[in-house]
Structure 1
Amino acid sequence: MRLYLTIIMRSLLYVSLGIMVYNSVRVEQQFELLGRGYIDGFSVNIDNMVGHIFIGITIILVIMNVIHLLFMGKNKQAKMEDYILPEYDASDERSVEITGKAVRFAFAFILLYSFLILGSYMFIPNYFLDYVWYPMFTTASIPIVGLIFYLISFKVLYSR
């Protein structure tokens, strides 16, 4: 359950950050379109909700990590990796090995996915002004897809 919660919170953090950055870039895009004469004017609606969600998720993640740090501090056999990764249980020796394998699988998948996503940018260079959301959200999807692949590989390896 802790693994699911951590993955969901981290993914929501990237999504909210992507939306915050998109809103900022969208305003810049409208100014660029206005400067080039493509549009006569535009209106901006500033909403702080996404920023509040981002701050809330960040605070929850920090609190979760501090609580995990306190619990790991009581374990005399815990190593530094036990403090850094809240996903695995330091008391389960098999979990340490499974986490290592899952991280390696996720890293390999992130490398492949990043190559494909960044390669897809060459198909839309002339349209970045019109489709500013594409590079923004595909770049934000890289860590999210890595986290999801980590979750799946961890659960598959753990069920063996």
Structure 2
Amino acid sequence: MRMYITVILRCLLFAAMALSVYDYVKINQYFELFGRGYIDEFSLYVTTWRGTFLSIVTILLIIFNVIDFIVVKKKKNALLKEYILSEYDVSDERAVEITGKAVRYAFVFIIFYTIVLLASYMFIPNYFLDYPWYPIFTTASIPILGLIIYLITFKYFHAR
């Protein structure tokens, strides 16, 4: 359960950051279009829910990490490694081996996925003006999907 909470909160943090950055990029896009003379005027409605969502997720992640740190510190023979790698028990050799496999699978996925995303930028040369959301959300999807692949492979190998 601890692993699910950690991965979900980290994924939500990346998604919330992407949503918050999107507003900033959208505003800059309108100013750029206005400065180049493509538009004569513009109006914007910026919502606060994206920033609020980012703040809530960040606070939840901090609270979860503080609670986790307190639980680890209460153990007499606790190592710092147990706090940093909160997903599993570091004294369990099988869990350490499974984590190694899951990290390798996630890393290979991230490498190939990043190559595909970088290649996709060639097909959208004017993405800043036409699709400002595309590079933001594709970049945010790299760690999100990497974490999901890590979680799935860890649970798969752990169940075997």
Decide: shared fold, TM above 0.5.
yes
**Deviations for 1:98-150, whole angstroms, at most 9, x for unmatched residues?**
12221121112111111111121111113431111111110111000101100
Question: 1:13-92 maps to which residues of 2 (within 5 A)?
Answer: 13-90=13-90, 92=92
Opposite residue 142 of structure 2, the aligned amino acid is I
Deviation at 1:28? 0.6
Q: Distance in 1 between matches of 2:59 and 2:121?
A: 34
Contact between 1:78 and 1:90, CA under 8 Å: does it hold in 2? Answer: no
Deviation at 1:91? 5.3
Contact between 1:26 and 1:132, CA under 8 Å: does it hold in 2? Answer: yes
- TM-score in terms of structure 1 length: 0.91
Change (3 A) 1:80 1:7: same
Deviation at 1:63? 1.2
Corresponding residue for residue 122 of structure 1: 122
Question: 1:100-119 maps to which residues of 2 (within 5 A)?
Answer: 100-119=100-119
Contact between 2:109 and 2:146, CA under 8 Å: does it hold in 1? Answer: yes
Q: Superposition RMSD on alpha carbons, in Å?
A: 1.6
Identity %: 57
